[in-house]
């Protein structure tokens, strides 16, 4: 079990191979692309913001994977920052969505089409 | 690191580009099929196609270097993460999309654990799944009337059908192809990964922990003390590679003592050193961002809303029909209601309806 699940809690962590890093980066990139598709495709304001959170998640995985590869903690520090920005974005976006919903009684993006530049 | 083959482009060292782009295209088709649309939406077929595509890329990566595979938990967690990410963007009900996003967060936390970022894994669960997603669910439940029965045609129209699925997945295909090409070719140029021992040097700055660990193993006797550096008086004379620390015995002689095996730098400790030592402004900036978000949300949400005339009429008729539950069922004749509702409206302070507004028309006019 210890061979399979190499949690690096104790020291002596083996260096990570570049191919292993590529696996994590592919998962991160695919999740980011899914978030992008969702943002473009969905017409519900709340689900659109949910898809931006999905993209935040993907960037977090990439940052942590690079941090592990380089054995450098700055990547994890940046993820704390990503979490902060995500929390702030959720607060503002949801306040905005509630405001828009009270005005039009709909969450559809098409209800606000006259804002198109 | 995989040995670089001369004359082969860097992407091809990791995975066959034909396989990569073919699989990404297949995944794009799968996602496109799985998106919600009016009428039948063959979501199972789309999900199957996307799953095959993702598995093909991962297997292709694995075949390139069978000796450096990630462990089995990586495949489990990433399958759950990508599968539920697909469900987030394809589920017609927003509440379910948010719940699937919780699953994405949990499996990402699993991936963080595999990448030995324990603190961030649990912070992610607490902050994301515990706080942010609950706020989302709260707003979703405030803003949508969920039908209780299991019928999709009761959903709002904007949830039932995707907007321009083909164009969007095409854009995402281009993005993913470019991203993977750049990332995979960049991996060939990264420096060799560092040994974990390199960061164990931070142990020198944790004298109390070193001392208590040494005393716990009876390596220090009464009167012995650790030797601090002359130029950095808060740091120990500690050799991270040899894992020894200098100790001044009670007799006055100085000798190197080996550190116990279980004395290792923890994830939280090294993260905290990095956070507060190397990026000291981060926490201030994060505080300012959160404060601004709080102020902004407060300002936005306390604004009074002027409702449209149509909406006023609709709400007024809904209120007039009373709490009997028949309100939504029967269509309300618009034209006669509107003038009446507007006059009702004038009587209420702030242009908003309260449940007491139903009794208002008489008194409001007075």
| Residues B80 and B216 both lie in one domain | no
Residue in chain A nearest B304 by alpha carbon: A99
Specify the higher pLDDT residue, B54 or B15.
B54
Q: Are B117 and A67 in contact (CB under 8 A)?
A: yes
CB contact under 8 A, A67 and B117: yes
- How do residues B75-122 score in pLDDT, each as one tens digit? 999 999 999 999 899 888 888 999 999 999 999 999 999 988 899 999
Chain B contacts of A50, Cβ < 8 Å? 88, 94, 97-98, 101, 136
CB contact under 8 A, B187 and A4: no
Which of these ranges, A33-37, A45-49, A52-56, A105-109, has the smallest mean pLDDT?
A: A105-109
Q: What is the DSSP pairing of strand B238-239 with strand B225-226?
A: unpaired
| Residues B44 and B87 both lie in one domain | yes
What are the φ and ψ backbone dihedral angles of B254, each rounded to 5 degrees?
A: -110, 130
Question: What mean pLDDT is reported for chain A?
Answer: 84
Question: Which ipTM score applies to this complex?
Answer: 0.90
Determine the pLDDT at residue B334: 45
| Residues B158 and B232 both lie in one domain | no
H-helix or E-strand spanning residue B258: strand B254-258
| Residues B145 and B234 both lie in one domain | no
Nearest-neighbour CA in chain B from A19: distance (Å): 7
Partner residue opposite A34 with nearest CB, options B89, B289, B290? B89
Q: CA nearest B68: which of A22, A99, A60, A91?
A: A22
Per-residue confidence at A44, pLDDT binned at 50, 70, 90?
A: confident
- How do residues B265-295 score in pLDDT, each as one tens digit? 788 888 888 888 888 888 899 999 999 999 9
| Residues B165 and B148 both lie in one domain | yes
| Residues B126 and B25 both lie in one domain | yes
Mutation site for B-interface testing, chosen from A91, A103, A104, A106 by largest number of B Cβ within 10 Å: A91
Partner residue opposite A24 with nearest CB, options B111, B168, B307? B111
What are the φ and ψ backbone dihedral angles of A35, each rounded to 5 degrees?
A: -60, -40
- How do residues B117-144 score in pLDDT, each as one tens digit? 899 999 999 999 888 999 899 888 888 7
Determine the pLDDT at residue A55: 94
Determine the pLDDT at residue B342: 43
Determine the pLDDT at residue A111: 81
CA angle B319, B321, B323 (to 5 degrees): 75
Chain A contacts of B195, Cβ < 8 Å? 15, 71
Q: CA nearest B356: which of B313, B305, B319, B327?
A: B319
pTM, full prediction: 0.79
CB contact under 8 A, A51 and B314: no
Per-residue confidence at A53, pLDDT binned at 50, 70, 90?
A: very high
Q: CA torsion, points B64, B82, B32, A52, in degrees to nearest 10? A: -120
| Residues B108 and B212 both lie in one domain | no
Q: A with B: how many residue pairs have Cβ under 8 Å apart? A: 325
CB contact under 8 A, A22 and B61: yes
Give the pLDDT mean for B67-73.
78
Domain that holds residue B66: 10-187
Question: What mean pLDDT is reported for chain B?
Answer: 76
Give the pLDDT mean for A22-38.
92
Chain A contacts of B163, Cβ < 8 Å? 40-43
Q: Structurally, how many domains does chain B consist of?
A: 3
| Residues B26 and B52 both lie in one domain | yes
Partner residue opposite A17 with nearest CB, options B68, B292, B314? B68
Per-residue confidence at B348, pLDDT binned at 50, 70, 90?
A: very low
| Residues B315 and B212 both lie in one domain | no
Sequence ranges of the domains in chain A? 18-105
Specify the higher pLDDT residue, B59 or B336.
B59
CB contact under 8 A, A69 and B193: yes
Chain B contacts of A36, Cβ < 8 Å? 168, 171-172, 175
- Residue B157's domain is classified under what CATH number? 1.20.120.1200
What is the CATH number assigned to the segment(s) A18-105? 1.10.287.3510
Specify the higher pLDDT residue, B122 or B309.
B122
Residue B343 lies in a domain: yes
Residue in chain A nearest B271 by alpha carbon: A73
Residue in chain A nearest B89 by alpha carbon: A38
Length of chain B equals 366
Interface check for A72 against chain B (CB to CB < 8 A): the answer is yes
Give the pLDDT mean for B329-344.
44
Residue B297 lies in a domain: no
């Amino acid at each position: 079990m210890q061979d399979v699940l190499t949690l690096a809690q104790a020291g002596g962590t083996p260096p990570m191979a570049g191919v292993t890093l590529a696996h994590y980066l592919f998962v991160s990139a695919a999740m980011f692309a899914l978030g992008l598709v969702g943002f473009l495709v969905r017409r519900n304001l709340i689900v659109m913001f949910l898809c931006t959170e999905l993209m935040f998640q993907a960037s977090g995985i990439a940052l942590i994977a690079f941090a592990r590869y380089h054995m450098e903690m700055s990547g994890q520090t940046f993820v704390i920052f990503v979490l902060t920005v995500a929390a702030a974005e959720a607060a503002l976006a949801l306040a905005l969505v509630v405001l828009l919903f009270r005005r039009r009684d709909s969450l559809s993006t098409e209800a606000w089409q006259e804002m198109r530049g | 690191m995989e040995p670089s083959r001369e004359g082969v482009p860097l992407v091809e060292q990791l995975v066959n580009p034909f396989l990569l782009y073919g699989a990404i295209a297949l995944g794009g088709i799968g996602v496109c099929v799985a998106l919600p649309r009016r009428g039948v939406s063959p979501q199972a077929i789309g999900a199957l196609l996307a799953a095959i595509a993702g598995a093909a890329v991962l297997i292709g990566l694995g075949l390139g270097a069978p000796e450096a595979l990630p462990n089995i938990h990586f495949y489990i967690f990433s399958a759950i993460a990508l599968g539920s990410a697909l469900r987030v963007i394809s589920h017609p009900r927003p509440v379910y999309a948010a719940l699937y996003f919780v699953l994405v967060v949990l499996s990402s936390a699993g991936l963080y654990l595999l990448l030995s970022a324990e603190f961030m894994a649990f912070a992610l669960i607490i902050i994301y799944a515990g706080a942010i997603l609950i706020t989302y669910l709260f707003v979703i439940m405030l803003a949508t009337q969920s039908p209780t029965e299991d019928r999709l045609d009761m959903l709002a129209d904007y949830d039932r059908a995707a907007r321009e699925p083909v164009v969007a997945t095409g854009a995402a295909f281009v993005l993913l192809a470019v991203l993977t090409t750049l990332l995979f070719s960049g991996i060939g140029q990264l420096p060799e990964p560092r040994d974990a021992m390199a960061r164990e040097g931070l142990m020198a700055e944790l004298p109390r922990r070193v001392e208590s660990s040494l005393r716990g193993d009876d390596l220090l006797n009464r009167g012995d003390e650790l030797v601090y550096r002359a130029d950095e008086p808060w740091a120990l004379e500690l050799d991270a590679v040899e894992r020894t620390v200098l100790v001044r015995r009670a007799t006055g002689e100085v000798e190197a003592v080996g550190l116990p095996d279980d004395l290792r730098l923890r994830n939280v400790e090294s993260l905290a050193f990095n956070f507060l030592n190397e990026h000291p402004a981060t926490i201030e900036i994060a505080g300012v961002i959160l404060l601004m978000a709080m102020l902004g949300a407060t300002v936005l949400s306390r604004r009074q809303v002027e409702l449209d005339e149509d909406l006023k009429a609709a709400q007024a008729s809904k209120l007039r029909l009373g709490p009997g539950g028949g309100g939504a069922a029967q269509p309300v004749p618009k034209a006669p209601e509107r003038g009446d509702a507007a006059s009702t409206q004038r009587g209420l302070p702030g242009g908003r309806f309260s449940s007491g507004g139903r009794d208002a028309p008489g008194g409001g006019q007075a």
